[in-house]
Structures are given as C-alpha cells and as structure tokens.
Chains A and B, each alone.
Chain A
C-alpha cells in the first residue's frame, strides 16, 4: 500500500457516512424523497461529500436508456491525495478491469 493511498474503508461505514453527510447538508433523509430520487442524490453527491481534496478512481453503473438513463451506483475503487499513487494502484488491475474506469479530482469545497 502506498503511503499516500487511503486504505479502503468498510463499505457499510462509507454508506452510513454518506447518508449522514447528506442529511447534514440538505436536512432531508430517505423518507423525504422517492427511493429512486434518494438513490440518485446519494450517487451524485458521493464524491463531493466523501472525497474532498482527493483523486478518485471509480466505475459508474447506469440503468435505462436515452432520456431515462439514471446513475445507479458510483463504485469507488481507490482514492488518494496523489494522482501518481492512485494510478499505481489502478495499474495493478488487469487491463480489462481498467477499461471504463474514470478518474476525477474532487476539489476540497465541492459539497453543493
């Protein structure tokens, strides 16, 4: 593990932390939205709320077609403060597993 690369947190911890941050930001929870809206909100806000100031490698999963396309899940693979460290981990994936992986930098103050 590179010293600049964050060990992956337990998924359940991340999901709880995301829900808590959304409630804190918007003052609303899952009961205030339809299930698909809450799911969409969580995925649109995932990077901004959980990874400020970090590079993130992720893979998106969608459903629907055309105008009905919706992001179902933004699957975060790695995150790091350093682009080089993130890419070092990405390079360890088999070539076919790297296909379609997006890399983004989340600016420190991006929470809407």
Chain B
C-alpha cells in the first residue's frame, strides 16, 4: 500500500447528497460535511476508553454534543451536571446536561487525551452522530488542509482534502 503522509488526528471530508440542488440543476449538485471519530477516556491511570463515536464538525455548535441515547454505554465516562442547560440553534431550541473536561481521544493518537466539554442532549437522538464544536478543536489544534478538491468529468469530486489537526505548541 502507498506511503501515507498524514501523521496527526484528522477530520475527513465526505460527499453528501443534495436532491434540492440536483432538482434545480445546480452546477455542483452535492454538499460536503466534515466528520471524524472520537473516544472518551477514563481519568486517572486507567487506560479504559469508550466505544468509538462518530462526530461531525459543526461550526455553529456552541459546545460539542452527544446524543443522550448513547449514555447507556458512555455513563462511566461522563460526569453530568445536575442542572440542565437550555440552548437555541439556528433550527431549534433544546436542552441537555453538560459534562466538563471530558478526556477525549482521536483514533490516530489514542494515547493523547484532550479535555472537551460535552453537552448530552436528547435533541441528537436518532441522528447517528454527535457534534464537534470549533471551540474544542481550536483550543488544542491548528487545522491544516491536506489535499484539495478535484472534480472528475462526472461533475462529482474525485478527490477531497483531509483536515489534519496539528496539536498546538508542538
């Protein structure tokens, strides 16, 4: 297999459908989203880590968030505030409970944990993924775009960049 040049945690860029854009014969009838996977890590000297969790980068999220339905396998990694937090987004209002400073690891560097704040909310139930807020990413990383979007003759990108997360102060 070819040599790999990526060394750090990464956020992948994916193609997604846009029936609306296709219907309106847009020049680019597709959209993109950025996502990665994380695990939560137990504190202290334990090396125990949670299941792998898909999360999408959401530049509008005021805080990173996880579906409440995942609590059944995450409860031992999250110390939730007793009082709920209410919030509003561009699309809706919601509420959840905050867990602060949760040790969070990326699959490419499972030995290094970063303290993220996670809001656990029923508003994400059924979505299949959590949300990663920019405040958590940029606190610890500088984002470097590696690769570039290239369109194929079919009009759809045949190459997409990867967002590499370079740890700050390295």
Contact = CB atoms under 8 A, between A and B. Distances in A.
B159 A40 contact: yes
A11 interface: no
A66 interface: yes
Given A37-B153, A110-B15, 19 more contacts: A37-B152, A37-B158, A40-B157, A41-B158, A60-B12, A62-B2, A62-B6, A62-B147, A64-B5, A67-B148, A68-B147, A71-B147, A72-B1, A83-B128, A90-B51, A100-B108, A103-B52, A107-B128, A110-B14
Interface stretch (B30-38, B76-84, B94-102, B134-142): B30-38
Interface in B124-159: 127-129, 146-148, 150, 152-159
Interface string A61-85: 1111111111111000000000110
Nearest to A48: B15
Interface in B25-76: 29-30, 35-37, 51-54, 70, 73
Interface in B151-170: 152-162
Interface stretch (A2-10, A13-21, A25-33): A25-33
A50 interface: no
Given A61-B2, A65-B5, A69-B6, A102 B154 contact: no
Interface of A: 26, 28, 32-33, 36-41, 44-45, 47-48, 55, 57, 60-73, 83-84, 87, 90-91, 98-105, 107, 109-112
Interface centre among A36, A90, A100, A112 (most CB of B within 10 A): A112
B5 A69 contact: yes
